[in-house]
Amino acid sequence: MGRAMVRRYGPSLDEKDERILRLLMENGRMTFRELSSKLGISDVAVRKRVIRLERSGVILGYTVVLNPKALGYSVVALTGVDVEPGALMRVARELASREYVRSAWITAGDHEIMLEIWARDEGEMEEILREIEEMRGVKRVCPAVVTERLKSRC
């Protein structure tokens, strides 16, 4: 875990906090009792630490990692979207509200907006990309179809 990054931008974390975070990233459903046995501290102490990590914004929430193919989505694309000046927040919010957008980021890289898009097939992906291209304020759409996911984790 990036010690300097966590300490620089968030609360100071000790070794037990960092171990709790690593364990929860591996299994977010791990109980306080399971965490306490791995850490050698009481489940009450673990609970207090987790609550502190949540309240301080280190832990933002708990989620499940899904397999798109198992749910019938055969095409996943990481898609960069370039927008006209002044349209960034409006376009980003509109895209983030779309059901087919699974994750959305505003970036300072090659594209102003990055999206993770799931589609049932190539035809649906083409329709989605065309819809995005036709949105007011969008200059360019640059999809990269995911052929294999190597890692899904914080």
How confident is the model at residue 91, as a pLDDT?
98
> Could you tell me if 82 and 123 lie in one domain?
yes
> Could you tell me if 140 and 102 lie in one domain?
yes
In a domain? residue 1: no
Is the confidence at residue 3, as pLDDT, over 60?
no
Q: What is the CATH number of the domain that holds 141?
A: 3.30.70.920
> Could you tell me if 104 and 129 lie in one domain?
yes
Mean per-residue pLDDT of the chain: 92
Residues facing residue 105 across a β-bridge: 114
66-84: pLDDT as tens digits? 889 999 999 999 999 999 9
Q: Two tokens at 148?
A: 């294999």
Q: Which residue has the higher pLDDT, 143 or 66?
A: 143
In a domain? residue 2: no
> Could you tell me if 49 and 80 lie in one domain?
no
21-67: pLDDT as tens digits? 999 999 999 999 999 999 999 999 999 999 999 999 999 999 888 88
How confident is the model at residue 109, as a pLDDT?
87
How confident is the model at residue 7, as a pLDDT?
47
Count structural domains, the chain: 2
Cβ-based neighbours of 148, under 8 Å, separated by 6 or more: none
> Could you tell me if 51 and 73 lie in one domain?
no
> Could you tell me if 101 and 36 lie in one domain?
no
Q: Two tokens at 13?
A: 């974390």
Q: What is the CATH number of the domain that holds 28?
A: 1.10.10.10
Mean pLDDT confidence for 128-145: 98
In a domain? residue 43: yes
How confident is the model at residue 152, as a pLDDT?
77
> Could you tell me if 37 and 78 lie in one domain?
no
Whole-model pTM: value is 0.79
Q: What Cα–Cα distance (Å) separates residue 34 from each residue in 22, 27, 39?
A: 13, 11, 9
Is the confidence at residue 92, as pLDDT, over 60?
yes
How confident is the model at residue 10, as a pLDDT?
62
DSSP 17-35: HHHHHHHHHH-TT--HHHH
In a domain? residue 62: no
Tell me if 116 sits within 8 A of 78, measured CB to CB.
yes
Domain holding 140, by residue range, is 69-145
Q: What Cα–Cα distance (Å) separates residue 140 from each residue in 21, 40, 41, 69, 134?
A: 38, 53, 53, 27, 10
